[in-house]
Structure 1
């Protein structure tokens, strides 16, 4: 009898261990704890279940499980201004110190004045001049070091927190959930590739080689000690926005994503490209409609208009037509920030 009991116990234990090993990662607990129950959360879970179940007609092989995420306004706060633009504005005094003649030249003169109203009115052309001056002329290692140093101290004016703390907890949940189920997560952003690479691994768990962004030129050379270096140059090689996103995905990743996440007109072509592939696809757009916990802007659904992360009604209508899921920050997210109680 004791032998039988031992055998039954061992058999039962083996069956339990097998069931645990066979169970997908999402079944053990809520995979998206910072999301409210609803169509958006359900769409993500059903997509992962279908694409990772070998018995499903919607199964996606491991090597094809590619998910692309925009960053500004999709993974972290981008209002009232993109963090990288603020970084560049903060660097202007150092650039002028190295080149004093710039102090009397626009737009550097306006930035040095500290007049926020005038700075806010700078044109795209002015901003490009500032970006070119502050993002070039140093080695890629020096740039990374300076960007990280800035990120360790610079704080958002509204929350008084580091920019890297203003990442959306629900999107971090999604990325972890996807990776736990064999997906490779990429950032595909209109932001500077080198700037995002400086913090992406620590902030999002995404290594530098999986960051695709707007890329500037580099020049190979040698430092004063004869060590080979790459120096950043003031020329744009890749504009990773709008149609540039699918073009960059092909160039840098080489596979069409099966899932794509964005928040603005700059992400439209990326979602179109991802959804146009064969098999099961997931396209999602984040709508910022929560002025209390974050910001509310569109102008879709009558929300305030904006030049930063514009989400017009035409994009909302296309999302409905194409079967993209529009995420309501206000209704779909239980929590926005990790520091929320």
Structure 2
């Protein structure tokens, strides 16, 4: 997979050379695109006063709502709901037990009403009781066959092409890119390298506890129905410290769940902080302060107060998704 990542970067480099050296062709000309390119140019020019040594070129990205869509529900939740339906024959009690009854009856309002307790129940039964290898294969199979309920396309077709271009651009310029997401780390690691070019060791996310066990004389890691780490809000700086060990110089998010990560990056001068603002109801979705999914309220206020870059999807991107 590492070889694939190198080839991926080289391929992108060649392709970008062929499009008049524009590193971000899906971005409209303007202050947002200029801010990104100017920061990277200076960070990689040892004659610039804002030069950043290669080992310190750390860029962190939230996933849901920042690198791919997250409406009408987080895609990992959609995976969990599909898993409940697939497992229903083994659990006849779910026909009268919430929130599983609501899932089987496609009553998503009732699922939402179950709150955090209901969500934890769903995650416990769908993300545990199997080995890490079995979970990986389950996710891999789902990501190949599942379809978005509204757009009727694979979820991997709903990645943001402008952000993939940005990841490639940073890769070419010696930045090490990390996903720092509230989503499940084992869920994302299955497909992140193929879709984003980010290898599994550069994916940080929430996790369940695992234990070493023996099956048929072979060691396996079993996933337990216990939360190990929540990589969201205040957990994001903790995850960055624990798993990266260097402070980021670029950070990208889209919601209040990313605020602390942006603040953590903002402690140092000459860093780049950006928020993806969902403003395009026609090509994607438009939401911010009142949304139950990906709420952007306090972080938007702080971005405006501190002068962080706000990426307006409608104005700044010529397209949202890749061409297929």
How far apart are 1:27 and its partner, in Å? 11
Report what 1:215 is aligned to. Answer: 207
Find the counterpart in structure 1 of residue 192 from structure 2: 200
Deviations 1:191-236 (A, max 9, x none): 000001111000100011000000110011111x211000111111
CA distance in 1: counterparts of 2:40 and 2:18, whole angstroms: 9
Note if 1:264 corresponds to 2:264. Answer: no
Contact 1:26 1:177 in 2 (8 A): no
Q: Report the Cα offset of residue 28 of structure 1.
A: 6.1
Residue aligning to 1:281: 271
Which secondary structure state, in structure 1, belongs to the residue aligned with residue 145 of structure 2?
A: coil
The question of whether the paired residues in 1 share the 8 Å contact of 2:111 and 2:118 is answered with: no
Report the counterpart of residue 295 of structure 2 in structure 1. 310
| SS, match of residue 84 in structure 1 | helix
Equivalent residue, structure 2, for 1:88: 80
Q: Deviations over 1:71-98 (max 9, x none)?
A: 0000000001001001001111343433
Question: In 2, distance between residues paired with 1:107 and 1:325?
Answer: 40
In 1, Cα distance between the equivalents of 2:247 and 2:179? Answer: 14
Equivalenced residue count is 309
The 5 A counterparts of 1:24-173 are 29-173=21-165
User: Residue 128 of structure 1 aligns to a residue in which SS?
Assistant: helix
Q: Distance in 1 between matches of 2:95 and 2:222?
A: 24
Comparing 314-323 and 283-292, the one that deviates more: 314-323
The CA deviation at 1:33 is 0.3
Tell whether 2:240 aligns with 1:240. Answer: no
SS for the counterpart of 1:330 is: helix
Q: Is the contact between residue 277 and residue 288 of structure 2 (CA under 8 Å) also seen in structure 1?
A: yes
- Which of 222, 227, 246 aligns to 1:231? It is 222
CA shift for structure 1 position 100? 3.6
- 2:307 matched to which residue of 1? 323
* 8 Å Cα contact 1:95-1:133 kept in structure 2: no
2:194 alignment partner, SS class = helix
Displacement of 1:58 in angstroms is 0.8
- Asked if the contact 2:62/2:253 (under 8 Å) is kept, the reply is yes
CA-based RMSD of the aligned residues comes to 1.8
Tell me how far apart the structure 1 counterparts of residues 207 and 110 of structure 2 sit (CA, whole Å). Answer: 28
C-alpha separation in 1, matches of 2:253 and 2:108: 29
Provide the rounded CA distance (Å) in 2 between the counterparts of 1:248 and 1:118.
33
Please tell me whether Structure 1 or Structure 2 has the larger radius of gyration of its CA atoms: 1
- Counterpart of 1:16 in structure 2 is none
Q: CA deviation at 1:237?
A: 1.2
SS at match of 1:152: helix
1:275 Cα shift?
1.6
Instruction: Note the C-alpha offset of 1:149.
Output: 0.4
In 1, Cα distance between the equivalents of 2:91 and 2:113?
Answer: 24
Q: TM-score, normalised by structure 2?
A: 0.91
Superposed counterparts of 1:288-307, under 5 Å: 288-299=278-289, 305-307=290-292
Q: CA deviation at 1:38?
A: 1.1
| 3-state SS in 1 of match to 2:152 | coil
Structure 2's unaligned 5+ residue stretches are 1-16
Counterpart Cα distance in 2 of 1:64 and 1:148? 33
Distance (whole Å) between structure 1 residues aligned to residue 123 and residue 225 of structure 2:
8
